[in-house]
Structure 1
Amino acid sequence: MAGILEPFGVHIDASNSFVQAAVYGFLLVGVASFAAPVISTIRVLLSLFVLPGKSLSTFGPRGTWALITGASDGIGKEFALSLAAKGYNLILVSRTQSKLDSLSADITSKYGPKIAVKTLAMDFAQNKDADYNNMKKLIDGLDVSILVNNVGLSHSIPVPFVETPKQEMNDIIMINCMATLRVTQLVTPGMVSRKRGLVLTMASFGGFFPTPLLATYSGSKAFLQQWSTALASELEPHGVYVQCVQSHLVTTAMSKIRKTSALVPNPKQFVNATLSKIGRSGGAQGVAFTSTPYWSHGLMHWFLSRFLGERSDTVVKVNRGMHESIRKRALRKAERDAKKQ
């Protein structure tokens, strides 16, 4: 021991076992501090770019059913198309029957009788017992092996909480939180009885990283993260796998972004990443039963969480500044549009 530290001008009495143990402890801490970021970097790269996720057949064979909420547009529509291509029958739930009919016709035209499609039009913001009773009747007796909790709502534009319209607050909570709870409570008992199933819940960086001017939306998505992780632990012993899916922006009607980029995939790219990485954490290292599967989102999530902290002052301030700027631009556009009328 003395030989190791003497070049640094430190003399250690090797006969003192306490000092010897303490020095070894400090050395181990130093090695661990150096190794931890290296190991973390290797893990995130393997998870995002190399290692495959669990096969969907683990949760239910082809010919069983997938229920998708918010199914008629964007990410939900792409989940429907992707799961149909993989041989799953579909239960499509969304607000507008005409859009559901159009999507159903497209799938039936492509796959014929091989893929069965059922639809249910309901407005989740209304939180009507009659709608959920209709859903219960629709899935009664069906082997629903996959549930995609995709339906969601954000603010029309970034807005200070004190100025948020009451109806907008109510709709966000009903759609993002209550709808997800009620649908999951209808579907998962069947999964438990069959001892298999997959529940995917779409979350958002807006919930993982506190987002000023989207406070109600941010809180609702943070709720989904906590709830999903707790539910996953409850259902894991019953063979049902629950995964919270984190994402940054995707080109959807909600994001109001039309052009893809390295940081903004289209729905097909995002859904392909999600379905190929079931069971992998991606960029959500250390967060149980959670994945950030799209490569650029995953790297961003990993970097911000590891080096800044998801609730650091810097992250919150940057988020606030970005959404203040978005709000100003949206208000100026509204003024210009009003003058044209």
Structure 2
Amino acid sequence: MEYLQKYQNNLSNFRAADMSQTQTAIVFGLGAIGIAFILSQTFTLLRVIFSLFVLPGRSLKSFGPKGSWAVITGASDGLGKEFAYQIARAGFNLVLVSRTESKLITLAEEITAKNPSVQTKILAMDFAQNSNADYERLKALLLGLDVSILVNNVGKSHSIPVTFNETPEDEIADIININCHGTLRITQLITPGMIERKRGLILTMGSFGGLVPTPLLATYSGSKAFLQYWSSALGAELEPYGITVQLLQAHLITSAMSKIRKPTFTVPTPKVWVSTALRKIGRNGGSPYYSYTSSPYFSHGIMAWFITCVMGVFSKRVASINKGMHESIRKRALRKAEREKGKKAL
């Protein structure tokens, strides 16, 4: 009996020691994971800071010789117009594509007046129609041109924030046709030539609406999320051919789409934002989470890093914040519409 008691005591001691070692291993393991996470986040933040504030991007001239062509969609207003001005100053000829011909004519005249050596071609087409005839006309216009740069800027959001169930069917169709079909079809027209020449740059306008789910802009948010993953996949496909693909993430910019006119620390003008984007080609800025993606403007980049790398585990909370913001925007828009309606009645 004494022997049995000693055996049981020894067994208990072994079990206690084993349990203690297991607990110690778990504590050390969790600590190591925590330290690795902190180091990873610190390294990512340092990459973001260097990308946003220190490291230069690739020069536009590295994507094609002076006198080659850049195609810009949604070129007549906002960001598209600024892309046209700044790419023309770099010496590229321009194909300007947008819906309103009169605006395109005016823009082309302004560009050639300021840059006499730059040639321009224009095409008025409504991407919402998704017309085969329009894409055939564009294909004919591009025939024989050395297209070095494509800027997929054309896009559409909701007229005001609205729940999905209340979104008009024609608005849903227009957003999908413009943001998705338009971008895919024009890119498919231009990439064969880039592949053949083994060089080129494809910039596609993304949005924070595609970075995180955005209630009351559900269709727009989904279309931009589609472009996010499409661009990452396209970038991997085309990189072996010397073609750079980059989705440009932007938060709010002063524009007709955002309905914001006054620039602030976090809301730049199109001129400032485009200038930054073109200086940071090939850099991730604040978007290390996705490949072939950049948030080039400094305040947007820091926001993108924080949302994806820090707040990613709180995605439901981020969606809730987004929802509240757009509910507020909707209320203001409805009040403004009521005021204008009252003025017309008078």
* TM-score, L = length of structure 1: 0.91
Q: Deviations over 1:246-266 (max 9, x none)?
A: 000111111111000011000
Question: What is the Cα deviation at residue 332 of structure 1?
Answer: 1.5
> Which of structures 1 and 2 has the bigger CA Rg?
2
Task: Give 1:227-242 correspondences, 5 Å limit.
Answer: 227-242=230-245
1:266 aligns with 2:283: no
Partner of 2:186: 183
| The one of 67, 72, 75 aligned to 1:71 | 75
Q: 1:137 aligns with which of 127, 137, 140?
A: 140
C-alpha RMSD of matched pairs (Å)? 2.0
Aligned partner of 2:13 in structure 1 is none
What is the letter of the counterpart of residue 226 of structure 1? Y
1:73 positional shift: 0.5
Counterpart residue number, 2:36: 32
C-alpha distance in structure 1 between counterparts of 2:26 and 2:321, whole Å: 42
Paired with 2:131 and 2:289, the residues of 1 have a C-alpha distance of: 38
Q: Does 1:95 align with 2:104?
A: no
Q: Which residue of 2 aligns with 1:45?
A: 49
Counterpart position of 1:5 = none
Cα deviations by residue, 1:49-83 (Å, 9 ceiling, x for unpaired): 00001122221121110000000110000000000
5 Å matches for 1:1-341? 29-112=33-116, 114-309=117-312, 312-341=315-344
Which residue identity does 1:165 align to in structure 2?
P
Contact 1:210 1:311 in 2 (8 A): no
Q: How many Å apart are 1:27 and its aligned residue? A: 6.8
Q: Which amino acid in structure 2 is aligned with residue 203 of structure 1?
A: G
**Counterpart secondary structure, 2:216:** coil
Per the normalisation by structure 2, the TM-score is 0.90
Cα 1:318–1:24, aligned 2, differ >3 Å: closer, same or farther?
closer
Deviation at 1:84, TM superposition (A): 0.5
Partner of 1:7: none
Counterpart AA for 2:160: I
- Counterparts of 2:327 and 2:187 in 1: how far apart (Å)? 35
Query: Post-superposition shift, 1:325?
Result: 1.2
Kindly, what percent of the aligned residue pairs are identical? 60
Give yes or no for contact 1:71–1:100 (8 Å, CA) kept in 2.
yes
Q: Quick check: 23-32 or 52-61, which moved more?
A: 23-32
Q: How many residues align?
A: 325
Q: CA 1:65 to 1:310, structure 2 compared with 1: closer, same or farther past 3 Å? A: farther
Shift of 1:36: 2.0
Cα distance change, pair 271–188 in 1 and its aligned pair in 2 (3 A): same
Question: Residue 49 and residue 147 in structure 1: after superposition, are their counterparts in 2 closer, same or farther (change >3 A)?
Answer: same
Unaligned runs of 5+ in 1: 1-12
Q: CA deviation at 1:310?
A: 7.7
Cross-structure match for 1:3: none
Q: Which amino acid aligns with 1:305?
A: T
